Amino acid sequence: MDPRVNITAEAVDPVFYFILGINVILLIGVVTTLIYFVIRYNRKRCPVPEETKEDIVWLELTWTIIPTIIVLAMFWFGWEGYLSLRRVPADAMEVQGSARKWSWLFTYENGKTSSKLYVPVGKPVKVRLLSEDVLHSFFIPAFRVKRDCVPGMENYVWFVADEAGSYNVFCAEYCGLGHADMVTTVDAVTEEEFEEWVLLKSGPEEDHPGLALLEKYVCTGCHSLDGSSRIGPSLKGVFNRQVTVKKDGQEITLISNRDYLLRSIREPKAEIVLGFQAVMPTVELSDEEVDAIIDILQKL
């Protein structure tokens, strides 16, 4: 298996089908033997058990040698596939993938960031995996790659998208309340489209600096912009609406004005909106960044 031209699915699928085929053969053999023994050695046929001291050497060798060969073959196929998944082509494009509760952030070599992973069709891509909080797992079923994101340790996966399209990315390790919502996509586009996108200083999600900051600090992983329910309250229409919060064990009703939004950003666990949990982390933001975020929240 040549790692220079191998697509990651080609390293995984043959191993899966090989092991599945062996299991099917063993299942049929065991069930067939079981049925034969039930019929052949039925109590009506053999009412008295017969003792035999005969050693059947060929049988003992058979059930020792054949399983050993099967297990070694499984190991060899699996090891070759594993090595293919770890040998990154020399011309692979590198992207940093940062996992945090509960979203992904991808950073390109020129500093551009995105919550989706944009890649050019036909080009090997190496994703350097980091975790900013707890254990996550980067899983792209379409490309058969899955690797843990461990705090304090860098990991990686590589793959090639040979067709344009959108491919799901999941977190395959339970990481807390928002685990099921930690979903994004790999968007494979043509080389020309990718170059145009990656060199673009601003995109649709970055028309306003506040939106870019919500994207950068993955606020939208927990707070939707369209009113849908997530781990945290939706940001749609958040400005100047009435909210009921828990503060110091008491329920109070407030207006989400600028001062309230500022407190929510600087001290996220001080006033918790009723019906939600105190899981928002404290993020170090400059005054300019906070002003930009509050400004876009006013417009949402």
pLDDT of residue 200: 67
Domains of the chain: 8-86 (1.10.287), 93-201 (2.60.40.420), 205-299 (1.10.760.10)
Residues 127 and 95 sit within 8 Å (Cβ to Cβ): yes
**Could you list the pLDDT tens digit for every one of the 300 residues in the chain?**
333 334 788 888 888 999 999 999 999 999 999 999 888 888 777 777 777 667 778 888 888 999 999 999 999 988 988 888 888 988 899 999 999 888 888 999 888 888 889 999 989 999 999 998 899 999 999 999 999 999 999 999 999 998 889 999 999 999 888 888 888 999 999 998 998 887 765 444 445 677 777 877 778 777 877 777 777 888 888 888 888 888 888 888 888 888 888 888 888 888 888 888 887 877 788 888 888 888 888 877
Measure the CA–CA gap between 164 and 186, rounded to whole angstroms. Answer: 10
Q: Say which residues have a Cβ less than 8 Å from residue 46's Cβ, sequence separation at least 6.
A: none
Residue 100 burial (C-beta neighbours within 10 Å; 0-12, 13-18, 19+): buried
- 42/18 Cα distance (integer angstroms): 36
Environment class of 235 (CB within 10 Å of its CB; exposed 0-12, middle 13-18, buried 19+): buried
The answer to whether residues 138 and 114 touch, using CB atoms and an 8 Å cutoff, is no
Rounded Cα–Cα distance for residues 216 and 81 (Å): 35
| Cβ proximity of 157 and 127 under 8 Å | yes
Contact 294, 262 (CB under 8 A): yes
